[in-house]
Chain A
Amino acid sequence: MSMYFTKEHEWVKVEGNIGTVGISDHAAHELGDITFVELPKIGAVVKQFGVLGSIESVKAASDIFAPLSGKVIKVNDALDTAPEAVNESAEDAGWMAQVEITDEAELKNLMTQAQYDDYLKTL
């Protein structure tokens, strides 16, 4: 199973035609205590790098962008009452949505884990 990243610090894990999306450990750490996650609606159709939802911490509010185009098939609604799960486990239990991927070719616009790690060093 491969994990890909955007420059805006979202990740997507791809399994078959399903992509699980969240924000990176780096982003969660930068945001600080996360207090609210706006999840997309199931059935919503999102475009690559279009707005998927938003996330708020004590310090800031930011949009979450879709790493890949697709249709939202599942959301992590545990985050409605416990958004701190994103701080505790941003790249696993703090996932936000699952999308049915429409175009796997879009992966070429994303970074691999190694590329993302290098990218973080430039920030």
Chain B
Amino acid sequence: MDTKLQATPISGRHRALNALMAPFGGWDMPIQYEGIIAEHSWCRSQAALFDICHMGEFIFQGDFEAGGLEDVFTFSVKTIPPGRSRYGFLLNEQGGIIDDLIVFRLAEDKVMIVVNAATAPNDFAVIQGRLKGGTFTDITAATGKLDLQGPLSRYVMVEIFGEEVATLPYFKFITVNILGVEAIVSRTGYTGELGYEIFIPSEKVCELWDLLLTDERVKPAGLGARDVLRLEVGYSLYGSDIDEETTPLEAGLGSFVNFEKNFVGKDALLRLKEQGVARTKVAFEVSGRRSPRHHYDICSAGETVGNVTSGVFSPMLGKGIGIGFVKPQLAAIGTPLTVSHERISMEATVCELPFFKGGSVRS
């Protein structure tokens, strides 16, 4: 395996800020600057800036139906109105999740597909293999991506990008001119807070990073804080909570699957719907400050009944929270579970998502 890590255009800035760097999805990424909890708290109260240049972006241009794109994902592409985006999945024939992604309808005959970093090369090959026409291009290297997230992000964005951003609704985007280039500003994110994802040509992304940080309400945040933020609001992390062995039905993500249309994996999901799933996603809170962690066992009545896929100490709740998969009969809200690993054991209770309900995402 090629272990050479890719660097984003902003990596020099991260090093200058003395960030702790680590490999993520084949990229050398900032995990934290001043500290995960401080950055998490800044995002929940102010505006946090994330370097997300590692994520993949593809462009499809052509006729969505004749080109085959309409049948590639679990949702319809042709019904996304221009200027809007939609979340869903690329599945394998067995209904397993190859990736979770967002499609942005750029024009009548053009979309941008935004995918996870680690899965991007395979996603590109899979999607290309399913297309029958149109042009399909990987623009990852040419595209920089920054996320500005937090309750104050709108004020910051309006000052830099203009009034047009002020009224941008959730899952809608606009094209704006900034620093002499065109950028896409999208009202989406991965934190549960009001926020924006900005796509800009990669040669300008460092300049935009610097510009956003001139606002004292903005501080950089790393992938460590991003993971705590996303888990507090129950968003799935590809590679941890969902993967090729997991279907959207098991993962509680069936609402992002449109059975009214064709897509690869549909037959498998229909069969699974009829048979019922053997395991299902649960969210649980721990009584105490211990953190459940990926791969810890979930037990009930002394037996292992599943495993934790994501877990962390929630600064907002002041206790451990986690997501895992168990037998469906143990998934009811209020079910007591035990999370254990070697010497560690903690009592947990199945709860609703999101864990943290006070986010500004739709404000």
Q: Which residues of A contact B (CB under 8 A)?
A: 32-33, 35-36, 38, 51, 54, 56, 58-59, 61, 63, 83
**Cβ contact within 8 Å between B313 and A35:** yes
**Cβ contact within 8 Å between A36 and B344:** no
- Give every chain A residue within 8 A of B38 (Cβ-Cβ): 33
Known: A32-B35, A36-B288, A83-B289. A58 touches B344 (CB 8 A): no
> Does B32 touch A at the CB level, under 8 Å?
yes
Bound Cα distance A32, B39 (Å): 12
Residue of B nearest to A38 (CB): B290
Shortest distance between the CB of A34 and any CB in chain B (Å): 10
Bound Cα distance A38, B312 (Å): 16
**Cβ contact within 8 Å between A32 and B36:** yes
Residue of B nearest to A80 (CB): B289
Given contacts A33-B37, A36-B290, 4 further A-B contacts (CB under 8 A): A32-B36, A33-B35, A58-B224, A83-B289
Shortest distance between the CB of B19 and any CB in chain A (Å): 12
Mark out the residues of chain B between 279 and 297 whose CB falls within 8 Å of any chain A CB in the assembled complex: 288-291, 293
- Give every chain A residue within 8 A of B312 (Cβ-Cβ): 58
Interface string of B310-330 (1 = CB under 8 A from A): 001100000010000000000
**Cβ contact within 8 Å between A56 and B290:** yes
Known: A58-B36, A58-B224, A58-B313. A35 touches B291 (CB 8 A): yes
Known: A51-B343, A56-B290. A36 touches B36 (CB 8 A): no
Number of B positions contacting A (CB below 8 A): 18
Known: A54-B344, A56-B313, A61-B344. A36 touches B35 (CB 8 A): no
- Give every chain B residue within 8 A of A61 (Cβ-Cβ): 290-291, 293, 344
Interface centre among B20, B291, B293, B344 (most CB of A within 10 A): B291
B36 contacts which of A33, A51, A56, A83 (Cβ < 8 Å)?
A: A33
- Give every chain B residue within 8 A of A35 (Cβ-Cβ): 37, 289, 291, 313
Residue of A nearest to B20 (CB): A32
- Give every chain A residue within 8 A of B91 (Cβ-Cβ): none
Interface of B is mostly: mixed
Residue of B nearest to A87 (CB): B35
Residue of B nearest to A83 (CB): B289
> Does B228 touch A at the CB level, under 8 Å?
yes
Known: A35-B313, A36-B313, A51-B343. A58 touches B37 (CB 8 A): yes
CB pairs A–B below 8 angstroms (13 shown): A32-B32, A33-B36, A35-B37, A35-B313, A36-B289, A38-B290, A51-B343, A56-B313, A58-B224, A58-B312, A58-B313, A59-B224, A61-B293
Shortest distance between the CB of B226 and any CB in chain A (Å): 12
Bound Cα distance A56, B20 (Å): 18
Interface string of B2-46 (1 = CB under 8 A from A): 000000000000000000100000000000100111100000000
**Cβ contact within 8 Å between A58 and B228:** yes
Bound Cα distance A51, B293 (Å): 21
Bound Cα distance A26, B293 (Å): 24
Interface centre among A58, A59, A63 (most CB of B within 10 A): A58
Bound Cα distance A58, B233 (Å): 17
- Give every chain B residue within 8 A of A36 (Cβ-Cβ): 288-291, 313, 320
- Give every chain B residue within 8 A of A33 (Cβ-Cβ): 35-38
Mark out the residues of chain B between 220 and 246 whose CB falls within 8 Å of any chain A CB in the assembled complex: 224, 228
Residue of B nearest to A35 (CB): B313
Bound Cα distance A96, B190 (Å): 37
Shortest distance between the CB of A50 and any CB in chain B (Å): 12
Bound Cα distance A32, B34 (Å): 10
Shortest distance between the CB of B20 and any CB in chain A (Å): 8
- Give every chain B residue within 8 A of A51 (Cβ-Cβ): 343
Shortest distance between the CB of B43 and any CB in chain A (Å): 14
Interface centre among B37, B228, B344 (most CB of A within 10 A): B37
> 3 tightest A-B contacts by CB?
A35-B313, A36-B289, A33-B37
Shortest distance between the CB of A105 and any CB in chain B (Å): 29
- Give every chain A residue within 8 A of B291 (Cβ-Cβ): 35-36, 56, 58, 61
- Give every chain A residue within 8 A of B344 (Cβ-Cβ): 54, 61
- Give every chain B residue within 8 A of A32 (Cβ-Cβ): 20, 32, 35-36, 224
Shortest distance between the CB of B223 and any CB in chain A (Å): 11
Bound Cα distance A56, B228 (Å): 15
Shortest distance between the CB of A75 and any CB in chain B (Å): 16
Bound Cα distance A30, B343 (Å): 22
- Give every chain A residue within 8 A of B224 (Cβ-Cβ): 32, 58-59
